[in-house]
Amino acid sequence: MKVAAIQMSSGADKALNLTEAEDLVARAVAEEAPDLVVLPETFTCMGGPAAHRRALAETFPDGEAYDRMQALARRHGVWLHAGSMAEAAGEKSYNTTVVFDREGNEAARYRKLHLFDVEVPGGIRYLESETIKGGREVVTYDCEGVRIGCAICYDLRFPELFRALRDGGAEVIVLPAAFTLQTGKDHWHVLLRARAIETQSWVVASAQWGAFDDGRRHTYGHSLVIDPWGTVVADAPDGTGYAVARIDPERVATVRRNLPVDRQRVL
């Protein structure tokens, strides 16, 4: 299975973001012919006032972003792990991944479990819970014989979720993200490699990169593909584009057989 982890620099203009996503997917398909394409977290909108982001939330499957991503998967004949989009939920919204198969059928839907409520260095406050509802379900799906687990951004800091995904049969874990520059430069590679090593799974992380909110906030980028031994096999440079790699499920089986930590668990 060949994967492409798309790296975007989304802003507050939803129409522009959707067009950029379509263009980057088309480019990846033309140049690399991947089987699975992954978009980053909140690719439809980054930044802007809370009321603006709330107004852009959609009901699924009725929304514009849902419809265009469904058509995009069908048009290119690829599996599309559509990052995350705002799914309307009353006064708030879910931060939701929707996965489409090659025919455009919805194959999975995952709502982000862990919400980013922190103050980061520099005094910037992020309070997702003011506008976002947390999900409740651990989600995996079958992608042509490969079991894939779902996570989003801040979920990365909670290894118990990744253990649950492995227990659910995941051989690949996909994590769309919009990691801040401040935390990304210190923690992004370390945490992603740790989750791959702990679960002995492939990890595919598609990231936002660059400035948004008129340059007041910055995301780290570095979309990655990591193998079950924790080796980074693809790392996107700064800018928009993608990281591409081939995922071999046999690599999972080999690592798990040679280092059988799952059978040796005590707790």
List the structure tokens of 217: 């906030």
Give me the residues paired with residue 54 across strands: none
Active site residue 112: yes
What DSSP letter does each residue of 31-79 carry, written as one string? HH--SEEEPPTTTT--SS-HHHHHHT-B-TTTSHHHHHHHHHHHHHT-E
List the structure tokens of 246: 């081939």
d(CA 126, CA 109): 25
Element containing residue 167 per DSSP (H, E): helix 159-167
Identify the active-site residue in 112, 143, 150, 171. Answer: 112
Backbone angles phi, psi at 122, to 5 degrees: 100, -5
d(CA 185, CA 202): 21
Identify the active-site residue in 14, 87, 153, 171. Answer: 153
d(CA 24, CA 217): 23
Give me the residues paired with residue 8 across strands: 208
Active site residue 153: yes
Identify the active-site residue in 14, 20, 41, 171. Answer: 41
Give me the residues paired with residue 100 across strands: 80, 106
Give me the residues paired with residue 149 across strands: 140, 173
Active site residue 41: yes
Quick one: which of 46, 65, 52 has its CA closest to 178?
46
Catalytic residues: 41, 112, 153
